[in-house]
């Protein structure tokens, strides 16, 4: 249950606990909370455990320049570290920063690893039924790994053939495709989860994790079948926030191990992760002639330039143009 916010000790004087509480009070997502704390801790360790209040603009510039020049970080990583420190000083400590002057990281284009349709089928062929269904959704709907694992039964609409992603990247909701070919397998998976949930209720459990606001608004929803995770964990564990024994969703390491094993058995030498199937989803749609704006919406990209990277994977220009000499 490492995607559930842990409890913060009440009235703690520990600096990181105070920062964590402030992030929650200001409504930041849990992923942002973890990311900001990670970079704040690295900043403090880099300056040999000095307290941020005793440091300033020079220390920030030194740390960010170190990331860009000596650690060879990408511009995106350096920007995340910058955002973390800007939050720390401006919003938490209330210190207005002067103009920053640090060495920028060099921009390096990295093309994503993509599998062909035939390669995806070979990987799928080496997976058991449940993992076959999970990877089929990754490839057929373009989901991120965490979006897949956090799916609830109620997020599937078989009438409209849509799948709703709740609180995706950037804490945004979106809808995407629900492949017709997976309907039968999904109905079987839902029936399996319903049976497991009924057994949990009979054993005195059956309550699933809900974010605090939802738990307060719908106190009985946690025991409803529709709120259960589509791919539940094999075992029941204690919630790190409340200590309540619950069945959470399957852990990402389980999916990763099965994908790696299937990739090896398929004889594919490319580096394949769960995210590879999302990349493959986008390139497959481009190959079939769908426009970038449609693909951008399905993927949940806020900037069309992020989606345009897939045109380069296909060996085309930014406008999807094929050279006349290649006709």
Q: Which residues are catalytic?
A: 144, 169, 275, 278, 301, 310
Which residue in the block uniquely carries the two structure tokens 């990349």? 279
Q: Which two tokens stand for residue 88?
A: 């720390």
Q: Which two tokens stand for residue 172?
A: 């945004």
Q: Assess contact for 127 and 262: CB atoms under 8 A.
A: yes
Q: Which two tokens stand for residue 282?
A: 């986008």
Cα of first residue to Cα of last residue in the chain, in angstroms, is 53
Cβ-Cβ contacts under 8 Å for 253 (sequence gap 6 or more): none
Give the residue among 152, 176, 150 at the shortest CA–CA distance from 162. Answer: 176
Name the β-bridge partners of 162. 157, 177
Q: How far apart are CA 8 and CA 23, in angstroms?
A: 12
- 3-class SS at 4? coil
């Amino acid at each position: 249950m490492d995607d559930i916010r842990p409890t913060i000790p009440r009235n703690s004087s520990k600096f990181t606990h105070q920062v964590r509480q402030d992030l929650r009070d200001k409504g930041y997502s849990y992923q942002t909370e973890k990311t900001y704390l990670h970079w704040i801790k690295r900043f403090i360790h880099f300056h040999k455990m000095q307290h941020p209040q005793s440091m300033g603009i020079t220390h920030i510039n030194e740390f960010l320049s170190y990331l860009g020049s000596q650690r060879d970080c990408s511009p995106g990583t350096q920007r995340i570290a910058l955002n973390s420190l800007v939050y720390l000083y401006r919003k938490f400590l209330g210190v207005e920063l002067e103009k920053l002057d640090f060495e920028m990281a060099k921009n390096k284009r990295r093309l994503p690893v993509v599998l062909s349709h035939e390669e995806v089928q070979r990987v799928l062929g080496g997976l058991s039924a449940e993992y076959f269904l999970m990877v089929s959704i990754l490839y057929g709907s373009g989901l991120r790994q965490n979006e897949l694992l956090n799916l609830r039964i109620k997020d599937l609409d078989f009438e409209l053939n849509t799948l709703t992603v709740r609180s995706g990247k950037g804490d945004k909701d979106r809808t995407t495709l629900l492949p017709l070919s997976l309907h039968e397998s999904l109905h079987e998976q839902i029936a399996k989860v319903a049976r497991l949930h009924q057994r949990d209720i009979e054993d005195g459990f059956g309550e699933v994790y809900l974010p605090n606001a939802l738990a307060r608004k719908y106190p009985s929803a946690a025991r409803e079948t529709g709120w259960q995770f589509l791919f539940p964990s094999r075992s029941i564990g204690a919630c790190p926030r409340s200590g309540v024994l619950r069945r959470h969703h399957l852990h990402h390491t389980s999916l990763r191990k099965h994908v790696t094993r299937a990739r090896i058995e398929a004889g594919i030498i490319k580096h394949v992760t769960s995210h590879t199937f999302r990349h493959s989803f986008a390139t497959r749609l481009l190959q079939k002639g769908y426009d970038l704006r449609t693909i951008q919406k399905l993927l949940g990209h806020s900037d069309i330039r992020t989606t345009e990277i897939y045109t380069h994977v296909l060996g085309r220009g930014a406008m999807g143009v094929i050279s006349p000499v290649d006709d």
